[in-house]
Amino acid sequence: MSAKGKVLFVYNLRKRGAAAAAAAGERWCLERGIPAHTTPRREIELDGVELVVAIGGDGTLLRVAGAIFPREVPIFGVNVGGALGFLSVGGAEALVPALEGYAAGKYRIERRMRLSLELGERTFSALNDVVFVGPGAYRFTELSVRCRREEVLSFAGDGLVVATPTGSTAYALSAGGPLLHPEVAAMLLVPLSPHALDLRPVVLPPEGEVEVEARYPVQVFVDGDRVGRLKRGERARIARARAHTLLVRFPEQEGFFSRVRACFGG
């Protein structure tokens, strides 16, 4: 950690203990002459920032990573308040050891692929997934999915998950999709409760653009946040984003499959 680079602690106001953990991290840095600042999740300013620490849970890390995109600033997450912490380095007790490891250069960077979504005139980016879900309580929709001008899927059901390898451990996993190691570059398509017996998840190369056409209205979510909807006949386009999320990993952290077993069993 350079003497000039600032550490930004971004905390989730809704998570008990998050603000206190951020203050403790800031205090540790300032006592060692390292510039640092704390801020709530929705007030992020990156000037001079070398490292971002997201304090809350995986949802906090996802939203902070989205807020700093397309800047490729290293980030790690700290889990507080009982939130799911699959992507984090650990609980609040892991914060200071992580800062010590980063300051000593004992870390590595994982470049995590992101998705870019074109929805009408607007563009969004996802670290985990873009999800299409039918409206209302019944969640029914009909979708056609194409890649490189070839139809890949056409079905009726609850919807579709388009996931990165990082997102393969999230909604896509719950829907029966495969695990993709984070070092794999690919896009994963997972139908949600399809009304068909022969549909399976599909893994696509990252270079192709995926086009999703709504044959029945559908809601669109990016990393869990609703961003819009498609009317019948409208289309959304998904491709590999031009920038990555840089996750900081430390030697003492468990490997990918060990973390999967620890969080999800098996």
Q: Measuring CA to CA, which residue among 30, 33, 71, 27 is closest to residue 52?
A: 71
- Active site positions, annotated: 58
- Residue tagged 């300032």 (tokens): 30
3-class SS at 4? coil
Rounded Cα distance between 59 and 236, Å, is 24
Counting Cβ atoms within 10 Å, is residue 47 exposed (0-12), middle (13-18) or buried (19+)?
A: exposed
- Residue tagged 């800062």 (tokens): 99
Rounded Cα distance between 75 and 66, Å, is 11
3-class SS at 184? coil
Contact 115, 51 (CB under 8 A): no
In this structure, which long-range contacts are made by residues 43-48, counting pairs with CB atoms below 8 Å and at least 24 apart in sequence? 44/8, 44/10, 44/68, 45/8, 46/8, 46/71, 46/73, 48/4, 48/5, 48/6
For the record, the structure tokens of 136 come out as 């209302």
Rounded Cα distance between 244 and 54, Å, is 17
Rounded Cα distance between 145 and 115, Å, is 16
Q: Which residues have a Cβ under 8 Å from the Cβ of 164 and sit 6 or more positions away?
A: 112, 113, 114, 115, 126, 127, 128, 129, 180, 187, 188
